[in-house]
């Protein structure tokens, strides 16, 4: 959980760790044209950005490192949604890099239910894992796109990773 303080005059916020009372800051919105906020009083409102909730997770730890963890992660997410016939917004996907003693690169892919407390989708996905892997492979086979498109790996939600998505790395990894 990240804590921040809020300026009561302009709405600007700063991380609690770096906040210094009386330090000049820029307005969040300069409606009057003046960018610098004139508030020099201590900010007393402490905020907690983010929230915690428990959910169901399905963690895939590949034995070998795929060329593009992002591509495999999004292929598995889409395949899970297709297999269970659910909306893409019902399943979240993330990955994290792992430190290994042998210094070899390693990662794990985390699929999770977006619903707080979990809706049980990833539990169902675990039970259908072989079908999900097959569906992920089929998503990337026989496509006319060069690397990735909105029919295989790309989506609005993963647009920050579009340059890293490549269906051939998914096929290489899952075959």
- Which tops the pLDDT comparison, 47 or 123? 123
Number of domains in the chain: 2
Q: Categorize the per-residue pLDDT at 29 as very low, low, confident or very high, splitting at 50, 70 and 90.
A: low
72 and 7, same structural domain? Answer: no
Residue 107 and residue 144 in one domain = yes
Assess whether 122 and 38 both reside in one domain.
no
Q: Cα separation of 11 and 137, whole Å?
A: 48
Rounded to two decimals, the pTM is 0.70
Domain that holds residue 7: 1-52
CA dist 64 and 174 (Å) reads 11
Residue 128 has pLDDT above 80, yes or no: yes
pLDDT in tens, 63-98: 888 999 999 999 999 999 999 999 999 999 999 888
Q: What is the mean pLDDT of residues 121-134?
A: 94
Looking at the structure, tell me whether residues 95 and 28 fall in a common domain.
no
């Amino acid at each position: 959980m990240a804590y921040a303080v809020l300026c009561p005059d302009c709405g600007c916020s700063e991380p609690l760790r770096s906040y210094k009372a009386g330090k000049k800051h820029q307005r969040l919105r300069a409606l009057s044209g003046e960018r610098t906020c004139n508030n020099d009083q201590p900010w007393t409102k402490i905020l907690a950005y983010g929230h915690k909730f428990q959910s169901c997770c399905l963690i895939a730890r590949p034995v070998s490192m795929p060329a593009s963890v992002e591509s495999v992660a999004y292929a598995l997410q889409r395949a899970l949604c297709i297999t269970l016939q659910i909306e893409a917004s019902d399943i979240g996907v993330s990955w994290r890099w792992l430190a290994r003693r042998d210094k070899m690169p390693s990662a794990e892919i985390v699929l999770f239910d977006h619903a707080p407390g979990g809706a049980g989708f990833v539990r169902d996905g675990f039970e259908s894992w072989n079908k999900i892997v097959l569906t992920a492979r089929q998503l990337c086979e026989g496509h006319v796109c060069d690397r990735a498109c909105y029919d295989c790996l790309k989506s609005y939600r993963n647009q920050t990773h579009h340059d890293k998505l490549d269906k051939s790395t998914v096929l290489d990894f899952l075959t």
